[in-house]
Chain A
Amino acid sequence: MALAIDVHDLVKRYGTRTVVDHVSLGIGAGRICGFLGPNGSGKTTTLRMICGLLTPDGGGGTCLGHDLVRERDAIKRQAGYMTQRFGLYEDLTIRENLEFVARVYGLDRMKGRVDQSLERLGLATRQHQLAGSLSGGWKQRLALAACVLHEPKLLLLDEPTAGVDPKARRAFWDEIHAYASEGITVLVSTHYMDEAERCHEIAYIAYGALMARGTAADIIRQSGLTAFIAQGPGADRLAPRLRDAPGVTAAAAFGTTLHVCSPDREALTRAIGPFRQDTALTWQEAEPTLEDVFIHLMGQARDNALES
């Protein structure tokens, strides 16, 4: 399978701070890759390097077969990049925004394409409304429509659903899957675990370094984490007491239940030992969640960053 994105050892520094530290990423054509990582981990910077908005300080590679640095223009013509912040003009109407994008890309049959895009979006009746008057969810869908107007082969979406309600998010993801089924490759950054699970594969980055790669199931399996769930009266209150216990990665309350995990099975059983005496609580081993794994990876990355 041909790789739509094939970059290796990407480095970006701002002054003495290394924001992206030797990140390599290969994504096959037609795949949806979720790009996860804590705030400030270098996700946006990596996306910007891939779409030619930033020049890497080291490393390189190809995007849709074009060199990342030398063939920036060719990449820009074939890729669609959706910025984290609404990047269209709020003081233009929905239709005017799409027409502007169509003109910039020099698209033929502009009217037809814009009509089609509005139809697909379901915004045909509101096409003369100012883009600024749309709700957050609609803005994001409009931005996506503008991104795909020139029929790109690659979509780079930077936290497209931040602050969007669940229904609009679901609609947005249905569209992403529809585009992927047409053969478009998608690299999408997100903080939502449910969205991560909707991706074909995941790349996890923390402190500028790529920490995990693969499907959600792969990543959970490879993490080697052990997790326990406690149920019963006051189980959720134990979280603060277990959080700092030696060997425990995370202890969090989910409603009335407690969720703890650790890479060290023995340490974990030792830590929860005293609380298992309480007969009111039922303890159960569970499958670690993606969130557990990411929090664990984040801790690891921080340790690495501190050591180096």
Chain B
Amino acid sequence: MWARLVAIILKELQQLRRDRLTFAMMFGVPIMQLLLFGYAIDTDPHNLPTAVVSADNTTITRTILSALQTTGYMHVTRHPASEAEASELLQTGEVQFVVTIPSDFTRRLVRGERAQILIDADATDPLAAANPLAAAKSAIEQALSRDLVGPLAPLASRPDAFDLVIQRRYNPEGKARLNIVPGLLAVILTMTMVMMTALAVTRERERGTMENLLAMPVRPIEVMVGKIVPYIAIGAVQVLVILVVSRFLFDVAVEGSLGLLGAGTALFITVNLAIGFTISTLTQNQLQAMQASFFMMLPSILLSGFMFPFRGMPVWAQWLGEGLPATHFMRIVRGVMLKGAGLGDISTELVALAAMLLIVSALAISRYRVTLD
């Protein structure tokens, strides 16, 4: 009995040794996950880009701004001239917060007239907005108690010396599903589209039908497009199903233009299919194609901003994330669905996707052979 068992164990090890991709998967995936979960993922992101619209430049307002920054959550990156410009920055996602200090802030504070500070937050990802907003109030109070001395000292002890008005834009109730549902669109499409095309082409090779196909007068571009088109249709149906379910079960409606969302989605689907096709030209059989697709999927879930706030990741992980189509598509979907973003707001993301499509298609076509050489 032992000899037979050993025979099978040995054979299994010998086969495993030749299957380098499986080997890479077994060690690569856990290492990748460890690194991502250990280093890259921070559910309490700091240094979030913040715009300040301040019409009142006094010692007190400066103290307040520096207090907000010392919380570690906000990092002032922009000083827009108007509130309209600030809103624009929030809309495109360039900043997470806009702090607005009205021109009469110091005057009203000194007079004891309940001065107001306004913080607008991009709350599409409630996780990223929650802690900074919670920290803001006490930070300002502490700073003021230090600054309000002498004749102003009595103000410091008044709880209503100032008013912090917080607006959670795009997702006022801070519902997680508002953020998750659009993100799921990106993840589901990545998962199915990449894998399905990768399998569709490797299946031909594995079953030996590729040789027969190549002996017939078909061009590589015809094979590539012909293989991709059916899956574009499947992807479209998937999107439709997800949108309808989101609308009626989760009450997540599309704020912006459906046409724009459709165009962005079509582009994203095409990029994914091209990636799948490229994987199929690099792998020998369906198992390898499956594993390679998995390698693509894992970072798309973890690094794209789907699972964890994008800005909570270290810079290197953000760069990796920028290289993933899902990251850009996630921004497009969240922008259009939740923020009602227009073409101008998401043009950067669309260009990024188009560039990826170009690069990946070029790679796919250069790898695909009309001959068996």
Q: Which residues of A contact B (CB under 8 A)?
A: 48, 51-55, 72-73, 76-77, 81, 83, 85-90, 101, 104-105
Contacts and interface: CB of A to CB of B under 8 A. Distances in A.
B217 A55 contact: no
B262 to A, nearest CB: 30
Given A53-B211, A54-B371, A105-B217, 19 more contacts: A52-B215, A53-B215, A53-B372, A54-B373, A55-B371, A76-B215, A77-B217, A81-B215, A83-B215, A86-B208, A87-B208, A87-B211, A87-B212, A87-B213, A88-B209, A101-B216, A104-B216, A104-B217, A105-B216
B216 to A, nearest CB: 5
A89 B209 contact: yes
Nearest to A92: B209
Contacts of B211: 53, 83, 85, 87
A51 B208 contact: no
Q: Majority SS of interface residues in chain B?
A: loop
Contacts of B217: 73, 76-77, 104-105
A51 B207 contact: no
Contact of B372 (A48, A87, A89): A48
* Centre residue among B213, B215, B370, B373 by max chain A CB count within 10 A: B215
Contacts of A85: 208, 211
B236 interface: no
Nearest to A132: B207
B212 A88 contact: yes
Contacts of A87: 208-209, 211-213, 215
B214 interface: yes
A257 B67 CA distance: 105
A81 B373 CA distance: 17
Interface in B200-257: 207-209, 211-218
A158 B323 CA distance: 46
Interface in B75-127: none
A279 B373 CA distance: 60
A90 B207 contact: yes
A66 to B, nearest CB: 12
A90 B208 CA distance: 11
B201 to A, nearest CB: 14
B218 A104 contact: yes
Contacts of B213: 87
Contacts of B208: 83, 85-87
Contacts of B373: 54-55
B372 A76 contact: no
A83 B212 contact: yes
A236 B296 CA distance: 64
26 contacts: A48-B372, A52-B215, A52-B371, A53-B211, A53-B215, A53-B371, A54-B371, A54-B372, A55-B371, A55-B373, A76-B215, A76-B216, A76-B217, A81-B215, A83-B208, A87-B208, A87-B209, A87-B215, A88-B209, A89-B207, A89-B209, A101-B216, A104-B216, A104-B217, A104-B218, A105-B217
A154 to B, nearest CB: 12
Nearest to B215: A81
A84 to B, nearest CB: 8
A293 B208 CA distance: 34
Contacts of B212: 81, 83, 87-88
A77 B215 CA distance: 9
A198 to B, nearest CB: 24
A19 to B, nearest CB: 12
A101 B216 CA distance: 8
A83 B210 CA distance: 10
A83 B372 CA distance: 13
B104 to A, nearest CB: 75
A289 to B, nearest CB: 33
A55 B211 CA distance: 14
A77 B218 CA distance: 10
A45 to B, nearest CB: 9
A105 B371 CA distance: 18
B311 to A, nearest CB: 47
Contacts of A88: 209, 212
